[in-house]
Amino acid sequence: MAKFDMGDDSVVVIIGSGAGGGTLANELCQKGIKVVVLEAGGVQSSASFINDEWKSFVQLAWLDPRTTSGSWRVAKDFSGLPAWICKTVGGTTTHWAGASLRLQEHEFKVKTTYGDIPGANLMDWPVTLKELEPWYAKAEDKMGVTRTNGIPGLPGNNNFKVMYSGATKLGYKDVHTGNMAINSQPRDGRGRCMQLGFCFQGCKSGAKWSTLYTEIPKAEATGNLDLRPQSHVTRIEHNEAGKVTGVVYFDKDGKEQRQKARVVCVAGNSIETPRLLLLSASNLFKDGLANSSGQVGRNYMRHMTGSVYAAFKNPVHMYRGTTMAGIIRDEAHHDTKRGFAGGYEMETLSLGIPFMAAFLNPGGWGEDFSWWMDRYTNLAGMWLVGEDMPRETNRVTLNTNVKDKWGSPVPNVHFDDHDNDIAMRNHAFKQGERVYQAAGAIRTFRTPPYPSTHNLGTCRMGASAKDSVCNAYGQTHDIPNLFISDGSQFTTGGAENPTLTIVTLAIRQADHIARQMSARAL
Amino acid sequence: MRVIPIAADSGACDEGTGEVPKLDLPLARREFLKGSGILMGTIAIGSPLAALAPSPVWAVELKVLTKAEGDALMKMGRTLYPHKRLADAVYALLAKDLDAKAAGDAATATLLRDGIAALNSAAGGNFARANDKKRLEIVKAIEGQPFFATVRGQCVTSLYDNDMAYATFGYPGSAWEKGGYITRGFQDLKWLPAPPLEASPKPWFG
């Protein structure tokens, strides 16, 4: 692995090593560009991952203090844990389920398609599906997405059998084991899925794509990557000309360091990325970096989510095999006849006994709660995930009343469900219940949202510097050598799990940065 | 407090129920029991745990709470999360974990002692001996109060994140060392038809 000097101002500094940062690092390194990756978390591996829900959670999750506000249920159930994302090399690609779906054409132009929706800050993306298609293809090949590039689908588990049976009885047509970045057969030096059932806990077989053991070692092999784990960035610095010059971070020994940079790319997930821009406010940029539009931290999206669990007379053993083992896509389209704009996906999900107790019905107790736990082996489960409305008032701000261990104000995450989100969730709950009833469920249960895993939109891309933070390449309008490289870029959320799109944008951004560097525009 | 975990030799996993042959039964040696309260019991014959544990006797030593207080917390756990199949030994873990918190924090100790005293008072003397209906009424009446929230919150991990609960509810836990489920029943459900191959292709075996 390379070691670059703290004063080397020719390097690209990437903050974060997940889907965005890890991919961008490898893409740049492959092009011969020197990269320093600063990752707040430590290094784990398939060997050190733990098949135990709480132990793994403590090992991987981002547990630095955060606060919440707003009327969303998460603020009540998990007031200090708005998001379930990771602080580890590989970021949340260690925890993600692997669902890799392209956004639909209309989801890049929702303002045009949905029109004005009161209380929603809709905007078209500055890029179309057509422009992204070749980049999506590169991402699918890189990640080994099933049902693309001639890769077979995964075998469905018992949980999927139940979903498939109910869905097809209900008349749904687009039902299968999904487009998953999980090897159905050996590929890219990694084995095939062993159906462990612990996708969320870090894949111990390495069958699930994670930057931890794909992009990052490939980048290291080029000799162009200097990966520094346990490096928590607290500030991005700039010069009088308004260009960023480097970052300040605390290393693994708690010592303050200052790394110079030619380009800085922020990929800390949609809570930490805007927080860092806000923490970097200066005399020149009083409202934070790249924030002349006032949109940094705003339009926070977390997808419309919810789960349906169903109890059956006979055993299901849903915990066996891939967590997200199959999908129903028939509700993913836009059709306002259902009473809302946008669409949603229905994807199987399972939890072990420890997390079932924590998440089935947070705060719940009594005979009814016990009834569900008693029938654990006979439960099937699905997750509902759909497009939520961006709102200027849903936002990440600095909470100056609470400080983290480095003395920085913690992020506060404010969220109020839009009426469209509520209407969609109710529709999705009902359809999820109908699927399971069609498969013979004796009872169904509507589980409220888990802490957010799909955090999006807080540094949105747009055509104009007036109402967006960055351009179609994630390059900030205000500071040309400062890039947004994660899901914060999303103009709107789409219905699909976002990782494939984050990786796609990172590959495209790397190409843009390399071209601009050789043209000396950066 | 001392807890001697029992780890039985791991035999074959029972595919039918998904039970795990590994227990962390809190068995304390009597000669070391010096705490203010000691909770003891036996595992019922016929319980899925009985066949797996080396001894049917369990004991938990409390540091700051009395036996009577421990009994009350166990009963409150059973009132909040009533499971006929779940052994008292698991509810004793709730008392043990709350006792450990009380030992580390005086405010928690006071909260628990006062809360338990209020339970007893509402039961006309002894909450642990009140009938199911009465206990439910008493707990329902304090829902949302700090004592209730502390005990209920602790239940989530104390009752459900242990090997005895896994075995009782049929959750096998870690799958890695057993090779996952690729050859161990991940698609063994027979009461519904198998999906067609285009929806769910066959597993790859080389």
> Which of A162, A198, A377 is opposite residue B18, by nearest beta carbon?
A377
- The distance of B171 to chain A (nearest Cα, Å) reads 7
Query: Which bin fits A70, alpha (ψ -120 to 50), beta or left (φ > 0)?
Result: left
Q: Can you state the percent helix, strand and coil of chain B, rounding each to 5?
A: 40, 10, 50
Q: What are phi and psi of B58, to 5 degrees?
A: -130, 155
Query: In this predicted structure, what is the pLDDT of residue B24?
Result: 52
Nearest Cα neighbor of A472 from A103, A125, A14, A108 is A125
Nearest CA in chain B to A46: B176
Q: What's the token pair of residue B134?
A: 């009465």
The verdict on a CB contact (< 8 Å) between A205 and B202 is no
- The distance of B31 to chain A (nearest Cα, Å) reads 32
Please give the Cα distance from A328 to A319 (Å, whole number).
19
Mutate to test the interface with B, among A169, A194, A350 (most CBs of B within 10 A): A194
Nearest Cα neighbor of A29 from A265, A277, A276, A268 is A265
The verdict on a CB contact (< 8 Å) between B161 and A158 is no
Where would I find the beta strands (DSSP E) of A178-303?
Answer: 225-228, 232-238, 244-250, 256-260, 263-266
A286, A242 Cβ separation under 8 angstroms: no
- The distance of B112 to chain A (nearest Cα, Å) reads 19
Query: In this predicted structure, what is the pLDDT of residue A423?
Result: 98
pLDDT of B4 > 90? The answer is no
The verdict on a CB contact (< 8 Å) between A185 and B166 is no
The verdict on a CB contact (< 8 Å) between B85 and A374 is yes
pLDDT of B56 > 80? The answer is no
A63, A80 Cβ separation under 8 angstroms: no
Alpha carbon of residue A337 to chain centroid: 29
Q: Which residues of chain A are within 8 Å of residue B170 when distances are taken between CB atoms?
A: 376-377
CB of B118 less than 8 A from some CB of A:
no
Query: In this predicted structure, what is the pLDDT of residue A382?
Result: 98
* Burial environment of residue B24 by CB neighbours within 10 A (0 to 12, 13 to 18, 19 or more): middle
Size of interface A-B (CB pairs under 8 A): 159
Mutate to test the interface with B, among A158, A318, A359 (most CBs of B within 10 A): A158
- The distance of A110 to chain B (nearest Cα, Å) reads 31
Q: How far is CA B31 from CA B34, B35, B42, in A?
A: 8, 11, 18
- The distance of B22 to chain A (nearest Cα, Å) reads 14
Q: Which residues of chain A are within 8 Å of residue B175 when distances are taken between CB atoms?
A: 51, 196-198, 320
The verdict on a CB contact (< 8 Å) between B157 and A317 is no
Nearest CA in chain B to A179: B199
The verdict on a CB contact (< 8 Å) between A192 and B166 is no
pLDDT of B190 > 60? The answer is yes
Q: Is the whole-model pTM more than 0.80?
A: yes
Query: In this predicted structure, what is the pLDDT of residue B34?
Result: 53
Please give the Cα distance from A91 to A68 (Å, whole number).
22
CB of B161 less than 8 A from some CB of A:
yes
Please give the Cα distance from B28 to B32 (Å, whole number).
7
The verdict on a CB contact (< 8 Å) between B182 and A152 is no
Higher per-residue pLDDT: B21 or B191: B191
pLDDT of B11 > 50? The answer is no
The verdict on a CB contact (< 8 Å) between A197 and B180 is yes
- CA torsion sign, A84 to A259 to A501 to A109? positive
Q: Which residues of chain B are within 8 Å of residue A204 when distances are taken between CB atoms?
A: 176
Q: Which residues of chain B are within 8 Å of residue A356 when distances are taken between CB atoms?
A: 160
* Burial environment of residue B177 by CB neighbours within 10 A (0 to 12, 13 to 18, 19 or more): exposed
Query: In this predicted structure, what is the pLDDT of residue B17?
Result: 45
Nearest CA in chain B to A316: B189
The verdict on a CB contact (< 8 Å) between B194 and A161 is yes
Half-sphere exposure of A398 (CA within 13 A, CB side): 19
Q: Which residues of chain A are within 8 Å of residue B167 when distances are taken between CB atoms?
A: none
Please give the Cα distance from A248 to A255 (Å, whole number).
10
> Which of A177, A198, A376 is opposite residue B170, by nearest beta carbon?
A376
CB of B68 less than 8 A from some CB of A:
no
Q: Which residues of chain B are within 8 Å of residue A54 when distances are taken between CB atoms?
A: 157, 161
pLDDT of B30 > 90? The answer is no
ipTM for the predicted complex: 0.95
Helices (H), B8-87: 67-80
Query: In this predicted structure, what is the pLDDT of residue B5?
Result: 36
Consecutive 10-residue averages of pLDDT for chain A (522 residues): 96 98 98 98 98 98 98 95 98 98 98 98 98 98 98 98 98 98 98 98 98 98 98 98 98 98 98 98 98 98 98 98 98 98 98 98 97 98 98 98 97 98 98 98 98 98 98 98 98 98 98 98 94
CB of B153 less than 8 A from some CB of A:
no
Query: In this predicted structure, what is the pLDDT of residue B49?
Result: 73
The verdict on a CB contact (< 8 Å) between A51 and B181 is no
Please give the Cα distance from A306 to A403 (Å, whole number).
31
Q: What are phi and psi of A375, to 5 degrees?
A: -100, 25
Can you tell me which residue has the tokens 């014959």? B45
Where would I find the beta strands (DSSP E) of A54-119?
Answer: 67-69
* Burial environment of residue A330 by CB neighbours within 10 A (0 to 12, 13 to 18, 19 or more): middle
CB of B180 less than 8 A from some CB of A:
yes
pLDDT of B7 > 50? The answer is no
The verdict on a CB contact (< 8 Å) between B193 and A165 is yes
Q: What's the token pair of residue A139?
A: 């991402």
Nearest Cα neighbor of A147 from A179, A110, A125, A107 is A179
Give A373's strand partners: none
The verdict on a CB contact (< 8 Å) between B161 and A51 is no
Please give the Cα distance from A90 to A41 (Å, whole number).
9
Query: In this predicted structure, what is the pLDDT of residue B25?
Result: 54
Mutate to test the interface with B, among A351, A370, A372, A379 (most CBs of B within 10 A): A370
Confidence of residue B54 (pLDDT cuts 50, 70, 90): low
Nearest CA in chain A to B80: A366
pLDDT of B18 > 90? The answer is no
